[in-house]
């Protein structure tokens, strides 16, 4: 990397960290000072990462490496290939916009804490994005885990307005609501559980190739060939692949790990935007985009294509089912941010699906460059999702704040009082629904195209989900903006310009990206990833049809055809509604199968095992010693004949022993 | 590895400095306690400064030997040395004791008040410094018997500190602590005496010769099995591994809190040190053969300790069980037997030292400020004790391997050791240990963050209303302890490089990859 580019990339990574440190030092300063210090750091990061992208362009540049821990061949190393540069620029720019929104939204309560973790979050994400070293990547990865924990439980006094779920509602006896501090624990536990496996997988790679530098893993260097070969030789290929991917699946909220993400809605709205658009859940997808094509070429080179193919096929099914399942949950959810959260997990699945499907196709057809097509499609969808989802969450923050309720059923008719918010939500929502010409339409079709390469059934499942996506999006918008409120009367008011400017810009961006897609965005991405995506008219047509069909169904709410009331009346539908509303009982199953038995086991171990061991060592053993002593004392009562007898007995024993030792008889 | 003979007995000085400080405290008992605390602190700091130049000579890497060594008839050579592993241990011991010494002042003032006793700072600081000196001496020892003697030197002052200033049934618990750890030390002593009598080997390191390794070959099969078992059991008691751990929650919970902050991370981790220097270095073949068993024991300790911590309501017992679980991490690294796992274990000693010391110190703040140890009474304390909460959260990050703490590096290296071990043992072992490791790490995350929540987050409990102000003279050192390992996370090489060189040499002696 030239000194210049290296400097910009380093700035992009370090500026948010430095801002975090400054926030810490300034924690007694007035809230605006703290807030703008944080924003300044984000601005430097955004500027630097965009300049780095423009300077380097699609060719990429050499990595920038400082040996951090030379004795283990571990480095702090940053790379500047197109994927890293484009992702870094996206993350930094979105974080900056969300940061500006936060200045108004957060105010002064907990401001230093908020800005410290916000900046730390962005710095960690930039670290993992630009990482050219697996340990560097881990530093960023685990850093995002900490920041998400702290921000999800930001309202650490557990005020009821910031809970998620309906207080009092239970599924299979398991509470389906979550206060902020509980959500934080869920987030860090779910991800840390999976990260433990990732640590082992990275350790395995480190042990085999002798370094954590990622250069060695690139297809030309052949590192992954040695890793896969070693795993196969040890009979541990499947567990290795599992360990390698499970961290990414958990971070990106794929089933059953989506549970942490849906309760993460207890954080402030800009935190949700940050997590969903820029800094947290995209990390898993990015990881898959980064490494899957390398694994594919290594598997082909080592003759393990069939094994990797089978594994990726299983993952593909998992993510497609996640996409479908979470979309169905979004259909019935009543909390605005919860709908958006379901939608995120579902859309992330598309991104995973793109790269897994393209890789499957590449493995089957031995056309290695096809995997890159998956990277292109997955990343394209990542970009459009990041923009529209940030807009939706930021607008949701304004809406919830305006009506003092997180339920869409308490909103309604807000288009009149919050027109700009409505406009932004509409543009972003249409992009999510994949309606032309918004960016989501282009990128979702690119995903469906690669899914079709792997098999038409995959594409069909994705289209069903696209239909559902359009339906729940329209339902949400209808409820919030055009319906009459079901409950109390809602009064909306627009927020200040820092807030509405942020989401309006993002809403417009999803339109602008869509408008410029064919002429500018797609060629730029295609050049960057070195692929030649083909426009597939039939696919586009079917995709459009699915989206508009879904939109029409969703819009039927407008006409007063509320399936809501229908479901309440019919027993069968009520069961189905409950099943969807309670998140397919996945949460209940996790608690019933793991959490509660774990707690019971702990109590049981404490009351039975620990208590018994304690009693044994601290009561039984000392008592036995005392009683032995007492028993021995009864032999020593001062009676001379007894002592003589003991003496004779002892003498006899000694004689026998001596005789035996001397070889007699 | 190259040997570097010091021109002056610096190592003995670092061991004696705390003793002199302690003795001076006793003499100056009438003076103000703050002065004494400051004086003790300064001398421990001197020990640390004396260590600093060694970092660079060790970086070569070399073994630095103190010129004051001598042959003791029948017991090998007594003397002191420092290499990468000793240095990592010594840095942790010195910095933590230093931070806790300052912290002690305010805490013990409170404790003396509670006991209704005339503050006898001289006695307190003398015992405190003897304790520190014993631990420093143990990690510098080149001789197994000398190691034992230093361990015993830690035992007596720590026993007295519990008996004099502890909580609850402090005399009974002091005795319980004494009997248990003394039994552990005695098993250890029997083992090293048998080894010594059978082979003449009493040294871990001999000046002019180098590390003594693979003694098992001279022992014969039966004696090797016997002494190995005795060693693992003896040091297993010191380390409080599962089944041998029941003494720890009593001792560490009822000790005066600054002493808990020394006992829990610093002293018990010396068991792992002994296992590395003697268990692994003397018995490379046996260690490898036993590794599946040791590994299972380690994972079981991690999970069991974590689950027990989860059920506690007394914050100090909670932290004590957490230490049991953390000793499982150390044992896991050791059990892998490869250099990554061993380095991870040594570095995790340091991580755990800062993390757990900060946590015990935070618990002490709660005791002083909120007058309770009952976690059920706590909750919502973060807004009243923000610096303490920040320090405690950072403390938990060390235990869960999250940046920006050294915990990430040590946990990663242990995981890497585990991966390498699984790779050499085959698919079934790889899969089983991977699954157990995931459970263990998840259990750690659960008890840490649930514990943090119960104390600091959520609705304020009854204890919150009793907190009037955050005692800054305690919160300051607590934060210092929490942040010390952040610096090491940012600049790990001076610490980790020499560690890797030493454990590489030990692992290579066993035929493993250095």
> Would you say residue A94 has pLDDT above 50?
yes
- Domains of chain A, by residue range, sit at 160-182+235-581, 584-634, 639-665
* Residue A256, φ and ψ in degrees, nearest 5: -90, 15
pTM for the structure as a whole: 0.94
> Would you say residue B50 has pLDDT above 80?
no
Percent of chain A with pLDDT over 90: 66
The reported pLDDT for the residue numbered B472 is: 87
Q: How close A19 gets to chain B, by Cα (Å)?
A: 15
If you average pLDDT over residues B283-287, what whole number do you get? 93
Out of B246, B415, B459, name the one closest to residue A203 (CB). B415
User: Looking at the DSSP assignment, which residues form a beta bridge with residue A164?
Assistant: A178
If you average pLDDT over residues A637-664, what whole number do you get? 83
Taking the C-alpha atoms of residue A152 and residue A156, their distance in angstroms, rounded to an integer, is 9
Q: How close B181 gets to chain A, by Cα (Å)?
A: 13
- B294 — pLDDT class (breaks 50, 70, 90): very high
Model ipTM value:
0.95
B308 with B328: CB under 8 angstroms?
no
- A285 — pLDDT class (breaks 50, 70, 90): very high
- B513 — pLDDT class (breaks 50, 70, 90): very low
Out of A143, A204, A207, name the one closest to residue B403 (CB). A143
> Would you say residue A15 has pLDDT above 90?
yes
Nearest residue in B to A231, CA atom: B423
Q: How large is the greatest C-alpha to C-alpha distance in chain B, in angstroms?
A: 66
- Contacts of residue B162, defined as CB under 8 A and 6 or more positions apart, other chains included, come to B170, B173, B174, B177, B251, B254, B255, B256, B259
Suggest the residue from B174, B241, B348, B445 to mutate for an interface test with chain A (most A CBs closer than 10 A). Answer: B445
Which pair of structure tokens corresponds to residue A662? 């001397």
Does an H or E element contain B500, and which? helix B493-509
The reported pLDDT for the residue numbered A166 is: 87
Comparing A20-29, A68-77, B23-32, B325-334, which segment has the lowest mean pLDDT? B23-32
Assess if residue B158 is contained within a domain.
yes
3-state secondary structure of A655: helix
Write down the mean pLDDT value for chain B.
Answer: 90
Q: Which residues of A touch B403 (CB under 8 A)?
A: 124, 139, 142-143, 146
DSSP-derived pairing of the beta strands B81-82 and A170-171:
unpaired
Query: Burial code of A53-67, b = ≥16 C-beta within 10 A, e = fewer?
Result: beebebebbebbbee
pLDDT tens for each residue of B146-172 = 999 999 999 999 999 999 999 989 999
pLDDT tens for each residue of B94-145 = 889 888 988 888 899 899 999 988 888 888 888 998 999 999 999 999 999 9
Structural domains counted in chain B: 1
The reported pLDDT for the residue numbered A555 is: 67
Q: Looking at per-residue confidence, does B505 or B405 come out higher?
A: B405
CB contact under 8 A, B307 and A70: no
Half-sphere exposure of B489 (CA within 13 A, CB side): 30
Out of B246, B419, B459, name the one closest to residue A203 (CB). B419
Write down the mean pLDDT value for chain A.
Answer: 90
Assess if residue B514 is contained within a domain.
no
The reported pLDDT for the residue numbered A489 is: 59
pLDDT tens for each residue of A359-418 = 999 999 888 888 999 999 999 999 999 999 999 999 999 999 888 888 888 887 888 889
Comparing A184-188, B83-87, B141-145, B271-275, which segment has the lowest mean pLDDT? B83-87
Which residue range is the domain that position B53 belongs to? Answer: 2-509
If you average pLDDT over residues B193-209, what whole number do you get? 92
Map B2-45 to HEC letters.
EEEECCCCHHHHHHHHHHHHHHHHHHCCCCCHHHHHHHHHHHHH
CB atoms within 10 A of CB A592: 15
Nearest of A78, A148, A145, A92 to residue A118 by alpha carbon: A148
pLDDT tens for each residue of A439-493 = 999 999 899 999 999 999 999 999 999 989 998 998 888 888 876 666 555 678 8
Nearest residue in B to A201, CA atom: B419
> Would you say residue B489 has pLDDT above 50?
yes
Beta strands in A6-137 (DSSP E): 61-69, 74-80
Taking the C-alpha atoms of residue B479 and residue B70, their distance in angstroms, rounded to an integer, is 42
Nearest residue in B to A195, CA atom: B438
The reported pLDDT for the residue numbered B514 is: 44
If you average pLDDT over residues A216-242, what whole number do you get? 93
Out of A72, A239, A598, name the one closest to residue B427 (CB). A239
Nearest of A273, A338, A277, A343 to residue A499 by alpha carbon: A273
pLDDT tens for each residue of A542-592 = 777 777 777 777 666 655 555 555 665 677 778 888 888 899 999 999 999
Which pair of structure tokens corresponds to residue A196? 């433990």
Nearest residue in A to B402, CA atom: A142
Which pair of structure tokens corresponds to residue B253? 């919970």
Measured CA distances, A144 to A13, A660, B404 (Å): 13, 75, 11
Half-sphere exposure of A465 (CA within 13 A, CB side): 31
> Would you say residue A307 has pLDDT above 90?
yes
Taking the C-alpha atoms of residue B335 and residue B342, their distance in angstroms, rounded to an integer, is 8
């Amino acid at each position: 990397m030239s000194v210049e580019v290296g400097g910009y990339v380093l700035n992009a990574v370090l500026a948010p960290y430095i801002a975090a440190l400054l926030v810490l030092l300034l924690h007694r300063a007035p809230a605006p000072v703290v807030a703008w210090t944080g924003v300044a750091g984000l601005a430097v990061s955004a500027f630097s990462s965009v300049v780095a992208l423009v300077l380097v362009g699609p060719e990429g540049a050499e990595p920038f490496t400082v040996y951090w821990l030379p004795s283990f061949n571990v480095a702090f190393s940053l790379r500047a290939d197109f994927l890293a540069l484009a992702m870094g620029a996206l993350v930094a720019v979105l974080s900056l916009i969300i940061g500006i929104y936060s200045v108004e939204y957060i105010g002064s309560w907990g401001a230093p804490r908020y800005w410290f973790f916000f900046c730390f979050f962005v710095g960690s994400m930039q670290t993992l994005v630009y990482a050219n070293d697996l340990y560097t990547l881990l530093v960023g990865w685990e850093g995002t885990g900490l920041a998400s924990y702290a921000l999800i439980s930001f309202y650490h006094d557990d005020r009821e307005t910031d809970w998620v779920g309906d207080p009092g509602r239970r599924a299979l006896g398991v509470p389906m609501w979550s206060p902020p501090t509980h959500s934080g624990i869920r987030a860090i536990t779910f991800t840390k559980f999976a990260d433990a496996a990732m640590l082992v997988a990275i350790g395995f790679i480190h042990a085999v190739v002798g370094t954590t530098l990622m250069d060695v893993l690139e297809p030309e260097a052949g590192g992954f060939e040695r890793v896969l070969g070693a795993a196969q030789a040890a009979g541990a290929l499947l567990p290795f692949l599992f360990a390698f991917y499970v961290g990414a699946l958990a971070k990106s909220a794929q089933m059953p790990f989506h549970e942490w993400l849906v309760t993460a809605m207890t954080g402030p709205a800009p935190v949700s935007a940050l997590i969903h658009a820029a800094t947290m859940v995209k990390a898993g997808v990015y990881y898959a985009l980064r490494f899957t094509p390398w694994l594919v070429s290594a598997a082909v080179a080592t003759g393990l294509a069939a094994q990797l193919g089978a594994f990726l096929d299983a993952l593909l099914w998992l993510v497609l089912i996640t996409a479908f399942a979470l979309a169905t949950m979004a259909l019935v959810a009543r909390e605005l941010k919860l709908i958006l959260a379901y939608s995120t997990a579902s859309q992330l699945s598309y991104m995973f699906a793109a790269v897994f499907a393209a890789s499957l196709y590449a493995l089957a057809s031995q056309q290695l460059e096809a995997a890159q097509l998956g990277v292109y499609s997955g990343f394209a969808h990542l970009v459009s999702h990041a923009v529209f989802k940030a807009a939706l969450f930021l607008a949701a923050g304004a809406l919830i704040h305006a009506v003092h309720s997180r339920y869409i059923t308490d909103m309604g008719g807000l288009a009149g009082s919050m027109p700009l918010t409505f406009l932004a939500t509409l543009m972003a929502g249409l992009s999510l629904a994949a309606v032309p010409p918004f960016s989501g339409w282009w990128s979702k079709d690119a995903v469906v195209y690669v899914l079709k390469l792997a098999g038409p059934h995959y594409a069909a499942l994705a289209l069903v989900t696209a239909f559902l996506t359009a339906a729940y999006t329209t339902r949400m918008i209808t409820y919030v903006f055009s319906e009459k409120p079901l409950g109390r009367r809602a009064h909306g008011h627009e927020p200040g310009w820092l807030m509405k400017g942020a989401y309006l810009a993002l809403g417009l961006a999803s339109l602008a990206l869509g408008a410029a897609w064919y002429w500018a965005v797609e060629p730029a991405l295609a050049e960057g990833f070195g692929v030649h995506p083909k426009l597939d008219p039939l696919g586009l047509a079917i995709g459009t049809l699915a989206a508009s069909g879904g939109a029409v169904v969703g819009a039927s709410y407008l006409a007063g055809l509320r399936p809501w009331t229908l479901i309440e009346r019919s027993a069968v539908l009520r069961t189905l509604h409950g099943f969807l509303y309670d998140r397919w009982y996945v949460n209940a199953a996790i608690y019933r199968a793991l959490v509660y038995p774990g707690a019971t086991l702990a109590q049981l171990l404490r009351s039975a095992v620990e208590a018994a061991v304690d009693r044994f060592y601290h009561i039984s053993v000392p008592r036995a010693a005392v009683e032995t002593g007492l028993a021995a004392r009864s032999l020593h009562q001062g009676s001379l004949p007894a002592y003589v007898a003991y003496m004779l007995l002892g003498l006899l024993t000694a004689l026998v022993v001596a005789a035996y030792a001397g070889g007699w008889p | 590895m190259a040997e570097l003979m010091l021109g002056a007995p610096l190592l003995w000085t670092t061991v004696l400095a705390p003793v002199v400080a302690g003795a001076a405290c006793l003499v100056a008992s009438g003076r103000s306690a703050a002065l004494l605390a400051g004086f003790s602190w300064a001398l421990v700091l001197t020990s640390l400064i004396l260590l600093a130049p060694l970092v660079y000579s060790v970086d070569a890497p070399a073994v630095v030997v103190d010129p004051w060594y001598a042959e003791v008839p029948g017991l090998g050579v007594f003397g002191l040395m420092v290499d990468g592993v000793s240095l990592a241990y010594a840095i942790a011991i010195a910095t933590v004791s230093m931070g806790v010494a300052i912290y002690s002042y305010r805490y013990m003032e409170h404790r003396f008040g509670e006991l209704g006793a005339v503050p006898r700072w001289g006695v307190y600081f003398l015992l405190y410094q003897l304790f520190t000196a014993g631990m420093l001496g143990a990690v510098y020892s080149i001789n197994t018997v000398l190691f034992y003697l230093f361990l015993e030197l830690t035992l007596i002052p720590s026993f007295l500190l519990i008996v004099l200033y502890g909580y609850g049934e402090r005399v009974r618990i002091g005795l319980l602590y004494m009997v248990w750890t003394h039994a552990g030390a005695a098993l250890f002593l029997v083992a090293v005496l048998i080894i010594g009598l059978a082979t003449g080997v009493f040294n871990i390191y001999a000046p002019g010769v180098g590390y003594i390794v693979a003694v098992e070959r001279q022992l014969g099969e039966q004696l090797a099995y016997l002494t190995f078992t005795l060693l693992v059991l003896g040091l297993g008691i010191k380390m409080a591994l599962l089944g041998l751990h029941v003494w720890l929650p009593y001792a560490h919970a009822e000790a005066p809190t600054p002493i808990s902050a020394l006992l829990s991370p610093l002293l018990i981790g010396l068991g792992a040190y002994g296992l590395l220097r003697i268990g692994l270095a003397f018995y490379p073949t046996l260690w490898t053969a036993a590794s599946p068993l040791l590994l299972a024991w380690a994972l079981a300790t991690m999970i069991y300790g974590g689950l027990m911590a989860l059920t506690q309501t007394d914050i100090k017992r909670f932290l004590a069980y957490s230490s049991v679980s953390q000793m499982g991490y150390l044992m896991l690294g050791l059990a892998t037997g490869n250099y990554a796992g061993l380095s991870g274990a040594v570095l995790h000693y340091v991580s755990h030292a800062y993390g757990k010391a900060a946590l015990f110190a935070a618990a002490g703040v709660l005791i002083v400020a909120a007058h309770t140890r009952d976690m059920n009474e706590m909750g919502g304390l973060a807004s009243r004790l923000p610096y303490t909460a920040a320090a405690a959260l950072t403390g938990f990050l060390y235990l869960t391997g999250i940046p920006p703490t050294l915990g990430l590096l040590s946990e990663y290296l242990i995981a890497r050791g585990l991966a390498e071990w699984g790779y050499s043992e085959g698919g079934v072992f790889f899969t089983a240990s991977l699954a157990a490791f995931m459970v263990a790490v998840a259990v750690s995350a659960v008890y840490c963050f649930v514990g943090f929540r119960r104390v600091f987050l959520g609705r304020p409990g009854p204890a919150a209303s009793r907190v009037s102000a955050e005692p800054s003279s305690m919160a300051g050192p607590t934060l210092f302890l929490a942040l010390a390992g952040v610096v090491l996370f940012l600049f790990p090489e001076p610490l980790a490089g020499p560690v890797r060189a030493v454990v590489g040499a030990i692992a290579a002696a066993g035929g493993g990859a250095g």
